[in-house]
Amino acid sequence: MSEVKSIKDQKLLYHLTSVENLDGIFKDGLKPRAGLSGFKDVADAEILKKRQALQLDKYVPFHWFAKNPFDGSVQRNRPEAQFVLISVYRSTARQYGWKIIPRHPLAGDSIQLLDYEQGFEAIEWNVMSSRDYLDPHCKSICMAECLAPGVVKPEAFFKIFTPSEEVDALCVAKLQAADVNVQTSVNQRMFYQ
């Protein structure tokens, strides 16, 4: 049996979105919330207000692993919706100067918006790897974010993970219609069922 890599040593970042948003994403890229209109929002409205006050709506948020507390909350609150995970290489984030918040951005009174290298070292990886969502500190660390300061074009995507063959086929059809070349992969374990 192969040993599972720690979250720190993995290579990807993940952005959860509704299938309903894919046409716009494939056409224009993943945009910061401040630059969006006419899309299916998946996040909590109260949290969005706080993110806007901190100007975090000017970034596209990614998480460090799939099935994090954010993903779970969104999928439980919208059981009828279909979701995909858009992934990018962490090396892309490093190369293009993305920012990092080493814990949930709304945990506590202030946020730490750090440069990639400094932020990466500031994350409590051992705490994150325990994934104990009943522990508030761990849950906050598990929602650390890597933030793209602008549009993330489909050319930067590594792969789109889907929860089923049905969603995968829909995603592939949308990719073809938009003339975008990104791999897809069905992986149910990356989604809450």
Whether 145 is catalytic is yes
Beta-bridge partner residues of 160: 86, 184
33 assigned binding-site residue: no
Catalytic residue among 20, 33, 46, 51: 51
98, 148 contact by CB (below 8 A): yes
Return the structure tokens found at 106: 């709304």
Q: DSSP per residue over 122-146, as a string? A: HS-HHHHHH--TTSHHHHHHHT-EE
Q: Is residue 16 marked as binding?
A: yes
Catalytic residue among 20, 46, 145, 166: 145
E strands along the chain, which residues? 12-18, 60-62, 83-89, 99-101, 114-115, 145-148, 159-162, 183-186
What burial class does residue 65 get, using C-beta atoms within 10 Å of its C-beta: 0-12 exposed, 13-18 middle, 19+ buried? middle
15 is in an annotated binding site: yes
d(CA 57, CA 61): 9
Q: Is 51 a catalytic residue?
A: yes
Which amino acids are annotated catalytic? 51, 145
| Binding site as annotated, residues | 15-17, 24, 51
| Binding site as annotated, residues for NAD(+) | 15-17, 24, 51
